[in-house]
Structure 1
Amino acid sequence: MARQREVGTLWIGGSLSWMEQLCLKSFVDRGQKITLFHYDDIPNVPEGVILRDGREILDTDNFLKYEKKDSFALFADLFRLHMIHRCPGMVWVDTDVYCHRPLDIEDDYVFGFELPGEQRVNNAVLGMPADSALMAALLEFTADQYAIPEFLKASQQEEYRAAAAAGRPVHVSQQPWGVWGPMMITHFVHRLGLKDRVQPMDAFYPVPFPDRTTFLRKADAVDTALTPRTTALHVWASNKRELGLRHMGLPPAGSWFDLALKRHGLRPEAAPIKGRGKRVFDAGLVEKVGLDEVTGFADVGGNAQSLALAAHARWDCDIHLIDIDHKGQWPDRPSGWVRPYVDFLAENGVAEDRVHLIRRADDLRGYGLIANLTGFGDVNKVKHLQPVMDRCLTSETRMVTDIRKGSGSYPFLKQWGETETLTTRDQDGVPVVRTLLTVTRPSVAAGRGDWAALAASLAGKDGFFRDNGQHSFLYVPRSSDTLVVTFDNLDIAMEKREDRRPWGYSFIEKQGWSMLGVMANGWTWYRDPWVGDQFDRLRDEGFFGRFRRVVFYGASMGGYAACAFVPACPGADVVAISPQSTLDKALVPWETRYSTAWGRDFGGPYGDAADVSRAARRVTILFDPYEPLDSGHVARFAHQNVVRLRAPLMGHRLGSSLQQMGILNPIILGALNGTLSELEFYRILRARKTFQRYQRELFRRALDRGRPGLARKLGRWVLTRGDNRYIRKEMLAL
């Protein structure tokens, strides 16, 4: 029986791209045990990969880099040696090594030639006895970070000796790429007479580095290079540069990468390649904007397709395409870029109803993230962007924009906020700076000053409005039967709703119910002592006792608040959509979202919503059980008064999905008036069967679980009853 080898690798932390996901999952799917060592959270590791703390191998926070390429490959070169030394028998594989077939080499020495001529040995696949002379030599050599390698060119060795003699020894991080990698391995393998233990090139490197872009071409170009000896296949992470620059961080259709991803049921659009070394690709800008939540993304001019896709994948936001010409005018018909843009999004799983074409000024609204790439301030005059700025900037907005030197863009932008340089490139001899605008003086949000007057008019003589600048309470009296306490974000109300009312204002008005709208000026999670004081005051004044029934309602941040503040009215009902239980990292260390609120105090009588909501009569929570972070919070609500209503595959923005399906109002109405049973909820939710997002997610899940037959069956069911562009396209691939 062939020897099955356990393999290990390293990812320091942060999200994986589809390339690493593909390589890791290939080992799992081939039945080979693979361990991923890490030093920080990795949110998207494929199921079946074993996770271990890297500090078990090297307890350090000093992650060495090849400084010239800004690459942690140097630390990985060191880590692999210590992993093999501490885990006898384990074979190292780089995260860009794909399992073509299980690694079953009998020899204790596992490495291969990477180029014709059988001279240079690569270390992307590496194994050796933990007590071997080779291991001892490698550990001894890497123990001195200022060693002068004898395998460097004589002239370079002389240069390093001179620097050392002058008191300026050259650190390994400043030495050539691969000095602790292939260069070192090759030197010691030959010196110790181990050449005959090296696998031939076709074992691990049938497609050598000079031909690496073969993986971006038709799959058969790679297949013809494979042989029966090929096992772990190096697919070369350096392909990321070409993928990022030319293919929007996604695999070209029909390429080896494309077919391999389909074979393993992975969606590249969910984890696009965001950068390589110091180069940040458009998709990687989502990591730079500093936003935890984006409800709307806008592209001005149509040059940010990969950023739009990455934003949708990360925040599940709608995408708005602002179609203005080079002079800021609205064209008579859609511009030529619109159709290809929409097709690109559809081909990568974005439902058509999540993409909106903006072709007149009156349809502009406030957005969380705006892209203006290769547009106004670079190619076109920045002044023509004025109408967009006047209507689309909110206090939460970030704009990523390109600025050409001498365009006058900096003074133009600084009237709205602060700018930060993300990257700089040279174009036709002129510097172009990719800049992040953080809005501090929004145009649209200036309308917030009208909120006090508007709220006072809504309250009337029998209601009240209280405001401390950061939060406000608006009470609108109607009847003493039912009071609905809602929690909302003022920016959303004032900038994204035509009526500029708190959530549900008209809906609640139609029922004749009274309303207490609690508004937050931004993503505060209502963690302001003033808010707690107001609820204490209302409780002590007997305000809630005026009503036969009181219901607290909110979604996400508002859902947290609805659960957290219900102790002010013991016995009230709570309806919460996708709520957080707390953002206290001591209680929810696994919560990676909403970093802007991590430093806030979540203690006190209105702190941990999962605990204090025991004061409610009933807490009804609507959530997607397949959203792991949302499910983690819901699991913390453990009291007997909790009713969990599961809406699988509908996402964190569940309210938006239910609204798009046309079933939000009857569900919320039933929940608020106390008539919604679990049976009725699931009866209404059957409408999801015709909802394209749900169909798409169900189809993807069948593929992710290796059930192509089930996916085909579902696809036929969907396509015989209507059209779903994504499923139609994927069915052709199946």
Structure 2
Amino acid sequence: MVRVREVGTLWIGGSLSWMEQLCLKSFVDQGQQITLFSYEPIPNVPEGVIRRDGREVLDTDNFLKYEKKDSFALFADLFRLHMIARNPGMIWVDTDVYCLRPMDYDADHVLGFELPGGARVNNAVLGLPADGPLLRAMLDYTSDVYGIPPFVKGRLQEEYRAAAAAGQPVHVSQQPWGVWGPMMVTHFTHALGLADQVQPLDAFYPVTFPDRLKFLRPAAVAEGMITPHTTALHLWASNKRELGLRHHGIPPAGSYLDKLLRLHDIQAEAAPIKGRGKHVFDAGLVDRLDIAEAQTFADLGGNAQSLALAAWNKWDCDIQLIDIDHKGNWPATPSPWVVPYTAFLTAHGVPEAKIARISRAGDLRPVDVIANLSGFGDVNKVKHLEAVLKASLHAQTRMLTDIRKGSGAYPLLNAYGSCETVTTRDADGVTITRALFRAGPQAVAQEAPTPPEEGSWAEIATTLAGQEGFFRDSPEHSVLFIKRSDTLVVTFDNLDIAMGKREDRRPWGFSFIEKQGWSMLGVMANGWTWYRDPWVWQQFDALRDSGFFKQFKRVVFYGASMGGYAACAFVAACPGADVVAISPQSTLDKALVPWETRYHTAWGRDYSGPYGDAAQASHAAGRVFLLYDPYEPLDTGHADRFTGANVVKLRAPLLGHRLGSSLQQMGILAPITLAALNGTLTEAEFYRTLRARKTFPRYQRELFKRALDRGRPGLARKLGRWVLTRGDNRFIRQGMLVL
């Protein structure tokens, strides 16, 4: 009687590509039960595949990788051993193993040689006795992530032993590819004398690794290598690199892989190969676009066929082929790339009515996604890109673009939005950055940028922004973004003070933030505006809607007085961010704070809208650290309006409204601010640090005055003696003369 065997496999890494879909479905179509283990939902698993939680086998969040190749194959090597141990009789298959006929082996050992000569054993197909010596030996060996493999070259073993002796053992993730895979399986199979249990080459690997590209050739080539003994066929996932780089992530027409897809009714274009290890193929770029939907996709220059196809499959969008030559001219007849590009799309299901050639500037319209790969700013001069951008951008447009260092692309693009690096590569010693460009509000009806005036804030800020940042301004306000790390500090300051009273002419806190290596978004006001300007609101709306804040692991809004108000108000654009506000106002809306008698110049501004009442807007924050002097009645009135459960009120008595200045003079502003910005500040730590006020002249003076004002001359004398025996305080010294 034929032994019925179940097979199992594992997937980590989001959606399946057509290769995994094909292999899984091949077992289903052959009537062999297959189980797919995973640690997260997978949206596109073929019908008939059994789904199970990977934690039934290994309950862990430590998914080991071969770090040099950024591959979870290391974890899969470990997982298969535990799967077999916990599921006796189950045969492991990699997700790139295709089922030609049911695997009904009677033997407990199901594994095969992968190269001629009968030496090297692969583990892409692996069945073992759950209580056998081979599985026990490998489970024991893999229990030590710093184990020194006895099967690597002697010189390498010596290096590992020396590193271990020095207290720096080499982790398995840093060891050679396959150290817990074919290398280990081969070693223990031969060491235990089990080579006679291994299936011959043609059982699973008739097309060997050196011959793997034959799967991409006409079907007859691979078919001629398969024998009647072949049950499962390793398709070699390493073919993904060739497929992604040279075939748009889809098998060549007429190839063996193409034939298998047709046999099992798998649509490759619906699940193209998007990447391999650290390499993101063009089709995978669609997942980097942080938009929910797109109605129009435009390819500028014809180098993004696979991305266009992926966009159509994801959004059913129209595809525009912008037919412009390398000098920015519009050819009278279609360029040579247009016809094959169109043929590729239609061959893979895109209706011809969805494809349009744009052949003159007057036909350009705003689009949702632009691809400018190996185009303007890389192999072509970037100056020809601007005319297209002016006509094709709207405030939410995304563009994937290649930027050659020194091309001048960043200043141009930063005038219309912001850029985020996706990948980098070297070409003939020059760095090429593949960037995601996000258009901003200024993208609409944008005029060509004019050079900033020498010595102006615009010139300073443009220089500070650099290639990956941006600077935007309006008559009353400006926004400067400097990219450094995945922590972002959003600051609010007065430009008059920065330019007129600071020697370095930098936003408040600039040097401190720079020293920490944090990114900075600095919002500057040209006067006492309280940032009540629709332009500012639009900037934060656009940053929120474009997903700008999502690129950072931690975001903190920071400001004092007017800036403190803004920090509490505009955090609504980045829910969950923390706020550090020193002596902030909650609003200057006289209907809400009729008792506020300061800041007459800003009373007439509009405090409506989602960013108007900071006390309400700050409910969106993670935590709000509110520093203020409880003896300043107006500041206390504003502080009392902040009633959210996320508010941490830190009181600094008798240090005044200019609390930030007082803390700075005491030398404790920096440690308090650092702790607040990095999320480690506690109330206990704040008050311990605040003890430094005992030697601060202003605090001593205010305490002395309060004793006198309350009719406590004895207490004032006692305080005066304490202060003057430890130093001098002119106010107290003069006051003591009349006591």
Say whether 1:90 aligns with 2:90. yes
Q: Give the structure 1 partner of residue 472 of structure 2.
A: none
Say whether 1:78 aligns with 2:78. yes
Task: Deviation per CA, 1:575-606: give whole Å up to 9, x if none.
Answer: xxxxxxxxxxxxxxxxxxxxxxxxxxxxxxxx
Task: Give yes or no for contact 1:392–1:444 (8 Å, CA) kept in 2.
Answer: no
CA distance in 1, matches of 2:412, 2:120: 55
Q: Give the structure 1 partner of residue 402 of structure 2.
A: 402
Task: Give yes or no for contact 1:391–1:443 (8 Å, CA) kept in 2.
Answer: no
Q: Give the structure 1 partner of residue 216 of structure 2.
A: 216
Q: Give the structure 2 partner of residue 574 of structure 1.
A: none
| Helix, strand or coil at the partner of 2:150 | coil
**Residue type of the alignment partner of 2:351:** A
Structure 1 residue 98, shift from structure 2 partner: 0.2
Task: Give yes or no for contact 2:416–2:446 (8 Å, CA) kept in 1.
Answer: no
Q: Give the structure 2 partner of residue 343 of structure 1.
A: 343
Structure 1 residue 111, shift from structure 2 partner: 0.3
Q: Give the structure 1 partner of residue 641 of structure 2.
A: none
Structure 1 residue 430, shift from structure 2 partner: 2.2
Equivalent residue runs for 1:498-537 within 5 Å: none
Structure 1 residue 468, shift from structure 2 partner: 9.5
CA distance in 2, matches of 1:293, 1:52: 32
Task: Give yes or no for contact 1:261–1:268 (8 Å, CA) kept in 2.
Answer: yes
Task: Give yes or no for contact 2:93–2:126 (8 Å, CA) kept in 1.
Answer: yes
- Note the aligned Cα RMSD (angstroms): 2.0
Task: Give yes or no for contact 2:390–2:445 (8 Å, CA) kept in 1.
Answer: no
Q: Give the structure 1 partner of residue 256 of structure 2.
A: 256
**Residue type of the alignment partner of 2:87:** C
Q: Give the structure 1 partner of residue 421 of structure 2.
A: 421
Task: Deviation per CA, 1:401-422: give whole Å up to 9, x if none.
Answer: 1111111111111111221121
**Residue type of the alignment partner of 1:375:** G
Q: Give the structure 1 partner of residue 332 of structure 2.
A: 332
Equivalent residue runs for 1:129-528 within 5 Å: 129-444=129-444
**Residue type of the alignment partner of 1:297:** F
Structure 1 residue 438, shift from structure 2 partner: 1.4
**Residue type of the alignment partner of 1:168:** Q
Q: Percent identity?
A: 68
Structure 1 residue 362, shift from structure 2 partner: 2.5
Task: Deviation per CA, 1:197-230: give whole Å up to 9, x if none.
Answer: 1000100000010110010111111111111110
Structure 1 residue 444, shift from structure 2 partner: 2.7
Task: Deviation per CA, 1:521-566: give whole Å up to 9, x if none.
Answer: xxx9xxxxxxxxxxxxxxxxxxxxxxxxxxxxxxxxxxxxxxxxxx
**Residue type of the alignment partner of 2:404:** R
- 1:165 to 1:471, Cα distance in 2 relative to 1, 3 A: closer
Higher radius of gyration, 1 or 2: 2
Say whether 1:62 aligns with 2:46. no
Structure 1 residue 436, shift from structure 2 partner: 1.0
- 1:442 to 1:306, Cα distance in 2 relative to 1, 3 A: farther
Task: Deviation per CA, 1:619-640: give whole Å up to 9, x if none.
Answer: xxxxxxxxxxxxxxxxxxxxxx
Is there any run of 5+ residues in structure 1 with no aligned partner, and where?
448-466, 473-490, 492-523, 525-734
| Helix, strand or coil at the partner of 2:325 | coil
Q: Give the structure 2 partner of residue 113 of structure 1.
A: 113
CA distance in 2, matches of 1:426, 1:103: 46
Task: Give yes or no for contact 1:415–1:441 (8 Å, CA) kept in 2.
Answer: no
Structure 1 residue 317, shift from structure 2 partner: 0.9
Equivalent residue runs for 1:530-545 within 5 Å: none
Task: Give yes or no for contact 1:24–1:98 (8 Å, CA) kept in 2.
Answer: yes
CA distance in 2, matches of 1:444, 1:395: 6
Task: Give yes or no for contact 1:13–1:39 (8 Å, CA) kept in 2.
Answer: no
- 1:392 to 1:29, Cα distance in 2 relative to 1, 3 A: same
CA distance in 1, matches of 2:331, 2:279: 35
- 1:347 to 1:140, Cα distance in 2 relative to 1, 3 A: same
Q: Give the structure 2 partner of residue 40 of structure 1.
A: 40
Q: Give the structure 2 partner of residue 693 of structure 1.
A: none
Task: Deviation per CA, 1:318-366: give whole Å up to 9, x if none.
Answer: 1111111212222212212111111110011100011111112232222
CA distance in 2, matches of 1:395, 1:442: 7
Q: Which stretch shifts more, 436-445 or 130-139?
A: 436-445
CA distance in 2, matches of 1:72, 1:267: 26
- 1:442 to 1:468, Cα distance in 2 relative to 1, 3 A: closer
Task: Give yes or no for contact 1:13–1:41 (8 Å, CA) kept in 2.
Answer: no
CA distance in 2, matches of 1:395, 1:53: 42
CA distance in 2, matches of 1:396, 1:9: 41
CA distance in 1, matches of 2:403, 2:294: 24
CA distance in 1, matches of 2:183, 2:395: 53
Task: Deviation per CA, 1:269-327: give whole Å up to 9, x if none.
Answer: 11111111111111010111222211111101111101000111111111111111212
CA distance in 2, matches of 1:247, 1:180: 32
Structure 1 residue 442, shift from structure 2 partner: 4.1
Task: Give yes or no for contact 2:149–2:157 (8 Å, CA) kept in 1.
Answer: yes
CA distance in 2, matches of 1:13, 1:250: 19
Task: Deviation per CA, 1:372-414: give whole Å up to 9, x if none.
Answer: 0111001111111111111111222111011111111111111
Q: How many pairs are equivalent?
A: 455
Task: Give yes or no for contact 1:366–1:444 (8 Å, CA) kept in 2.
Answer: no
CA distance in 1, matches of 2:152, 2:443: 60
**Residue type of the alignment partner of 1:277:** G
Task: Deviation per CA, 1:138-197: give whole Å up to 9, x if none.
Answer: 111101000001111111111001001111000000000000000000111111111111
Structure 1 residue 129, shift from structure 2 partner: 1.2
CA distance in 2, matches of 1:40, 1:54: 9
CA distance in 2, matches of 1:45, 1:316: 21
Structure of higher RCO (CA pairs closer than 8 Å, 6+ residues apart)? 1
Moved over 3 A (4+): 467-472
Relative to the length of structure 2, the TM-score reads 0.60
CA distance in 1, matches of 2:134, 2:396: 57
Equivalent residue runs for 1:527-606 within 5 Å: none
- 1:446 to 1:239, Cα distance in 2 relative to 1, 3 A: same
Q: Which stretch shifts more, 87-96 or 429-438?
A: 429-438
Say whether 1:18 aligns with 2:18. yes
Task: Give yes or no for contact 2:390–2:446 (8 Å, CA) kept in 1.
Answer: no
Q: Give the structure 2 partner of residue 2 of structure 1.
A: 2
CA distance in 1, matches of 2:268, 2:537: 41
CA distance in 1, matches of 2:411, 2:534: 33
Structure 1 residue 136, shift from structure 2 partner: 1.2
CA distance in 2, matches of 1:416, 1:392: 12
CA distance in 1, matches of 2:363, 2:216: 40
| Helix, strand or coil at the partner of 2:68 | helix
CA distance in 1, matches of 2:446, 2:405: 30
CA distance in 1, matches of 2:86, 2:284: 35
CA distance in 2, matches of 1:320, 1:262: 29
**Residue type of the alignment partner of 1:210:** P
